[in-house]
């Protein structure tokens, strides 16, 4: 990327880490074999693939046998939802993939607080005797709020215990999409208490169109895509060896450097936030002040048109998002901002600034200057 450019949209996409790419390259041409072929060079490729899945599993404290590789978080989420039949509990601020998959079931969307927090008590209230799935993202992709998954897991475990004691065999699973948390916060499945987890390589400096659904052995998954029987019959199709090897490298790097990177990003984000609030005391920062992704800053300027702002910033080389970058979101107000109760006038002036590996002190210093100039211009214009 041109070094003059300032990319503050890491939640939308991340560049492929050069170490991940280096790990992938040999599977494009030298080791291109079908992992199901019988000869030794293909068997080696199969072994490398399984080893990469083992690394992916270790990074979240799971087992490789419980990982199903898919072509993205959206497919992983759809696979999870297609595996259950009953009622679903999720939140009003979930990603479109979860909301769309939930819409195929009877579902209850629990509300969130003005900081975007899902109350475990609301989840407990929403669970019905026929609820089979609770799905809550680890961290929100727009406002960065980190959910109390451990406490929600306890609610799920309590209901599961009640069913067990009542001799009720209706399954109940707890799934989380943790894609936005990797490299910034803990994604250990045992510590979070989840039964199933989605992680997307594309959001963590890995290749695009690779993700996994981890689901512990008690979760009975049903395939969306049938055929040759790959991935233990749960997702047929010739394996994406290069993609999975790159994914494993990226996830390992993310997990290994989480603590230092989280500290670094939080410091930069806090600088950005305080400088913007100093210049614009009426600006509204959304998301939880503490329980928030370290690289995330969602900030709103009432009365400003965020879409104009994005284009004005772009002419100065600064790339940011207005709300979610999802295609479905275009031209409509974010359901997340509505759910946290942001006034339309405020919501429509929202920028999502997400920091990551392309961010450093220099880019943040320059971003602060440009943001203040451009926002000031827009404010003067809208008042004029």
Write out the catalytic residue numbers. 326
Candidate residues 53, 87, 95, 288; the one interacting with its own copies per rule CB under 8 A:
95
Residue 363 is a binding residue for its own copies (CB under 8 A): no
90/122 with CB nearer its own copies: 90
* Binds its own copies by CB under 8 A, chosen from 241, 255, 293, 347: 241
**CB nearer its own copies, residue 18 or residue 169:** 18
CB of 237 to its own copies, least distance (A): 4
The answer to whether residue 225 forms part of the interface with its own copies (CB under 8 A) is yes
**By the rule CB under 8 A, 29 interacts with its own copies:** yes
Q: Are 242 and 338 in contact (CB under 8 A)?
A: no
- Nearest distance in Å: CB 72, its own copies: 4
User: Under the criterion CB under 8 A, does residue 14 sit at the interface with its own copies?
Assistant: yes
Chain positions 152 to 211 lying near its own copies, rule: CB under 8 A, are 202, 207-210
Does 285 engage in binding with its own copies (CB under 8 A)? no
| Stretch of 70-78, 146-154, 166-174, 295-303 lying at the interface with its own copies (CB under 8 A) | 70-78
Query: For residues 157 and 208, which CB has a smaller minimum distance to its own copies in the complex?
Result: 208
Using the rule CB under 8 A, is 332 a contact of its own copies? Answer: no
Kindly report the number of other CB atoms within 10 A of residue 214's CB atom.
Answer: 25
Considering only residues 256 through 275, tell me which ones interact with its own copies, judged by CB under 8 A: none
Question: Which of 100/285 has CB closer to its own copies?
Answer: 100
Q: Give the range of 59-67, 91-99, 137-145, 334-342 binding its own copies by CB under 8 A.
A: 91-99
From candidates 3, 4, 39, 165, binder to its own copies by CB under 8 A: 39
**Which 294-313 positions form the footprint of its own copies (CB under 8 A)?**
307, 310-311
Sign of the CA dihedral with 67 first, then 73, 75, and 78 last: positive
Question: Segment near its own copies (CB under 8 A), from 67-75, 124-132, 293-301, 333-341?
Answer: 67-75
The CA distance from 253 to 70, in Å, is 20
CA dihedral (188, 117, 338, 128) positive or negative: positive
Closest CB 239 distance from its own copies, rounded Å: 8
**Distance of closest approach, residue 74 Cβ to its own copies, in angstroms:** 4
Q: Within a 10 A sphere around the Cβ of 234, how many other Cβ atoms? A: 21
Q: Residue 336 interacts with its own copies (CB under 8 A)?
A: no
Q: Which distant-in-sequence residues (6+ apart) come within 8 Å of 185 by Cβ?
A: 138, 139, 146, 258, 262, 293, 294
The answer to whether residue 376 forms part of the interface with its own copies (CB under 8 A) is: no
Shortest distance (Å) from residue 278 CB to its own copies: 26
φ, ψ for residue 153, nearest 5 deg: -60, -40
If one asks whether residue 327 binds its own copies (CB under 8 A), the answer comes out as yes
Q: Identify which of residues 98 and 293 has a Cβ nearer to its own copies in the complex.
A: 98
Residue 18 touching its own copies (CB under 8 A): yes
Query: Footprint of its own copies on residues 103-132 (CB under 8 A)?
Result: 103-104
Rounded to a whole number of angstroms, the minimum distance from the CB of residue 293 to its own copies is 17
Near its own copies by CB under 8 A, which window of 33-41, 60-68, 252-260, 338-346? 33-41
Nearer to its own copies, 148 or 317 (CB): 317
187 contacts 199 by C-beta, under 8 angstroms: yes
């Amino acid at each position: 990327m041109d070094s003059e450019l300032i990319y503050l949209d890491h939640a939308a996409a991340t560049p492929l880490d050069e170490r991940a790419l280096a790990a992938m390259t040999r599977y494009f041409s030298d080791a291109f074999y079908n992992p199901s072929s019988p000869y030794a060079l293909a068997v080696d490729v199969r072994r490398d693939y399984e080893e990469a899945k083992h690394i992916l599993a270790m990074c979240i404290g799971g087992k490789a046998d419980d990982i199903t590789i898919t072509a993205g978080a959206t497919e992983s989420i759809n696979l999870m939802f297609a595996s259950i039949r009953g009622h679903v509990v999720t939140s009003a601020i979930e990603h479109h993939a979860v909301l769309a998959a939930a819409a195929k079931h009877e579902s209850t969307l629990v509300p969130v607080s003005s900081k975007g927090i899902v109350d475990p008590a609301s989840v407990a209230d929403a669970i019905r005797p026929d609820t089979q799935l609770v799905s809550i993202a680890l961290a929100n992709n727009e406002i960065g709020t980190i959910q109390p998954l451990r406490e929600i897991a306890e609610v799920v475990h309590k209901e599961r215990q009640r069913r067990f004691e009542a001799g009720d065999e209706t399954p109940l699973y707890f799934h989380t999409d943790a894609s936005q948390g990797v490299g910034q916060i803990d994604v250990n499945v045992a510590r979070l208490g989840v039964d199933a987890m989605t992680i997307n390589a594309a959001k963590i400096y890995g290749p695009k169109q690779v993700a996994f659904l981890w689901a512990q052995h008690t979760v009975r998954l049903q395939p969306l895509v049938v055929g040759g029987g790959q991935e233990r019959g749960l997702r047929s199709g010739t394996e994406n060896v290069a993609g999975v090897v790159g994914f494993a490298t990226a996830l390992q790097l993310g997990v290994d450097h989480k603590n230092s990177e989280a500290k670094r990003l939080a410091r930069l984000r806090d600088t950005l936030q305080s400088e913007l609030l100093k210049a614009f005391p009426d600006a509204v920062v959304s998301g939880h002040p503490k329980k928030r992704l370290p690289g995330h800053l969602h900030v709103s300027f009432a009365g400003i048109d965020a879409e104009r702002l994005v284009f004005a910033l772009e002419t100065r080389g600064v790339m940011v998002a207005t709300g979610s970058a999802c295609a479905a979101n275009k031209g409509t107000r974010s359901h997340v901002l509505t759910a946290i109760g942001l006034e339309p006038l405020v919501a429509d002036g929202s920028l999502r600034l997400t920091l990551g590996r392309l961010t450093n002190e220099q880019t943040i210093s320059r971003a602060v200057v440009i943001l203040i100039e451009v926002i000031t211009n827009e404010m003067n214009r809208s008042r004029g």
